[in-house]
Structure 1
Amino acid sequence: MSAVAPDAWHEFPVRVYFEDTDAQGVVYYANYLRFMERGRTEWLRSHGVEQDRLQAESGLCFSMTAVDVRFHRPARFNDELL
């Protein structure tokens, strides 16, 4: 049995804008968390979960409590990330 549900894989392309980069044109490390949050929001939305409605109706909301990130190579201005 797989630990990941078959429909758990989700692609959300993100274009790197100038505002996402540092002086060397590389994505500032903390911005990857913003990209991941957008992806998570879109994954939930694709499954019919609107976070604002969830919070208004049930008082539930999502919060990140810990992050462990391994950077494999830099993303740069105008790259498209998946």
Structure 2
Amino acid sequence: VMTIEEAYRQIAHNITFLVHVTLVDDTWRGGTRTRHITEIRQLTGALENGRPVTHLTYAAPTPTSPGVFHPDPALVAELSHYEPEVT
């Protein structure tokens, strides 16, 4: 059994992304269920006040605010080799 502080430390050091998915259920009127990614947060590996620190990487646009896409430069460099070459 681990303490809350130990659990937060494990989360901060072993999870990279938190992805928030919203379910829109229109089956009650003959529609379908759809899922939308509304937010992606990157865990930085740091702790503040004993809790993991996150960086907002992506937020979907809403009727009142534009979308946000601010990936950490180190993350972009780390993932860049997965981008296919365009010829």
When the two structures are superposed, what TM-score results if normalisation uses the length of structure 2? 0.24
Which has the higher relative contact order, 1 or 2, with Cα contacts under 8 A spaced 6 or more apart?
1
More strand, by proportion: 2
**Greater Rg, structure 1 or structure 2?**
2
More helix, by proportion: 1
